[in-house]
Amino acid sequence: MNKTPFLSLEKAQEIIKDYPTPFHIYDEKGIRENVKALKEAFSWNEGYKEYFAVKATPNPFLIKILQEYGCGCDCSSKTELMMARTLGATGDDIMFSSNDTPIQEFKYCNDLGGIINLDDITHIEAVEKACGKLPKKMSCRYNPGGLFKISNDIMDNPGDAKYGMTTEQIFEAFKIMKEKGVEEFGIHAFLASNTVTNDYYPMLAKVLFELAVELKEKVGVHIGFINLSGGVGIPYRPDQEPNDIRVIGEGVHKVFDEVLVPAGMGDVKLCTELGRFMMGPYGALVTTAINEKHTHKEYIGVDACAVNLMRPAIYGAYHHISVLGKENDECNNKYDVTGSLCENCDKFAIDRMLPKIDMGDILYIHDTGAHGFSMGYNYNGKLKSAEILLCEDGSYKLIRRAETPKDYFATFDCFDFYDELIKE
C-alpha cells in the first residue's frame, strides 16, 4: 500500500530553486478542509471550541488559519502564551495546560484572561500566590490511573503518566476552589496518545461526563466545560484506517445525551485540544538524497536529519516515505534512510522497501505536520530548516526562514568573541 503526497515533483523542484532542501511544507487546502470537518462533527454542541495544541506546530501563519474558524490556543509555556497573545488570542481563546509550572507563568496567563487548567492539587496554592486570588473560571486535569482499555485492547497506561490528579484529589481540589471563589469549572483528561480508532473519544467522554455529574452532585460545582484534550491520532502507516471525525463526533453526542442531559447538564460546552489530528497529515519533510553507502546494508543519506524530524530516532516511529516522481515505481530496493548526525539512531527508515533511489532524488517524508519541526534541536551544530506553506491556489510562501550559524551562536552575543564566531 502507498500514501499520496500533496506535493508533486514539479512543484517541489520549483520550490527548491528558492528554498533548498531540507524544509517542512504544509498543505493549506488540507488544513482548511480538516478544520471544517471537525467543526461540523461537533456542531451539535453549542459552545464547542477547538484549542489547537500550539506545541504540535508552533507557527503563527498556520495557527492564524485555524483562528479563522474560531479555534483557540492550547498553551503549555510562557513562550506559547506569548505567541497566542501576539496572534490576538486573549480570554477564553487561551487554555493553559501545563505541568511543573513556574509560578510566574500562572500570572502571565491570568493577566491575558486565559483559562488555567491545573495539573496538580498543589497548584491551587501556587495560582493563588501568583495571582492574588483564584480566577472565577478554572479547570482541573484528571488521571483515573490504571490502564485505559477499549474492549480488550490496552490503549495506554494513565497510571504511569505524570499528568493529572487522582479521583480523590480532584474532588478535594474542586471543594477548595469553590470555597475560594471559583464559580465556573472545567475538567480535562488525556488518557491515550495517537489513537487510531473512532471509539477513543466517546469512551473518554463517558469517563469525564460521569465524573462531571458526580462532582455536581457531591461538591455542588457548576461544570461549565469539559475538555476532551487530544489523543485522536492519524494513520502514519498506509495500511491503517484513518479516524472519521464525524463518526467520533456522533459517538460523543450519544454519550452526552445518555449521561449529561438526564442530569440537567445539557448546557456543558465541549473543548478539544487536537494537535496531531489538526496538522499531522498536512505537513511533510522534503529532503534530497545526497549520499549512498554500500556496506553491510544499503544506505541512502539525505540532507535532513533527526534535527528536522526526531520521532523516528527517539520513538522508532514510522513515517512513510515517497520518492517524488517515482510514486508508481516498484519498491524492490531495501534501504536504511539516514541523516548525518553522529548518532546511529539518526534514521528515517530501517530496512524500508523503496524504489531505486538515485542521487539528487527528492524524498517526501509524510505526516510531519505535528511534532515534526517543533521537536527539532541543534545537536552537532545542525540548523533547523525553513517552513513553507503550499497555498490553496498552488502558490507557495515562506512562513519560517531556515536557521543560520548566526542564530546558532546568538546566545554568545554577550561575549567578545561573538563577531569572530559568525564570520562565514
Which phi and psi (to 5°) does residue 238 adopt? Answer: -65, -20
**Catalytic: which of 109, 131, 342, 345?**
342
Cis peptide, bond prior to residue 60, ω within 30 of zero: no
CA distance 411 to 378: 13
Q: Can 391 be counted among the known catalytic residues?
A: no
Residue type, 101: T
SS3 9: helix
Amino acid in the structure at residue 344? N
Rounded Cα distance between 269 and 15, Å, is 43
Contact criterion met (CB below 8 Å) for 170 and 191: no
Show the cell assigned to 379: 545537536
Nearest to 23 by CA among 368, 278, 271, 315: 368
d(CA 411, CA 136): 40
Selection from 124, 117, 122, 120 nearest residue 143 by Cα: 120
Pairing between β-strand 23-27 and β-strand 283-294 as defined by DSSP bridges = antiparallel
Angstrom distance (rounded) from CA 217 to CA 262: 13
Q: Half-sphere exposure of 110 toward its Cβ, with a 13 Å CA cutoff? A: 20
Distance of CA 392 to the CA centre of its chain: 23
Q: How far apart are CA 223 and CA 246, in angstroms?
A: 25
- Return the DSSP state at 47: T
Bridge partners, 336 (sequence order): 299
A 10 A CB-CB count for 83 gives 18
Q: Is 423 exposed, middle or buried (0-12, 13-18, 19+ CB in 10 A)?
A: exposed
DSSP-derived secondary structure for 297-326: SEEEEES--TTT--HHHHH-----EEETT-
- The catalytic residues are 342
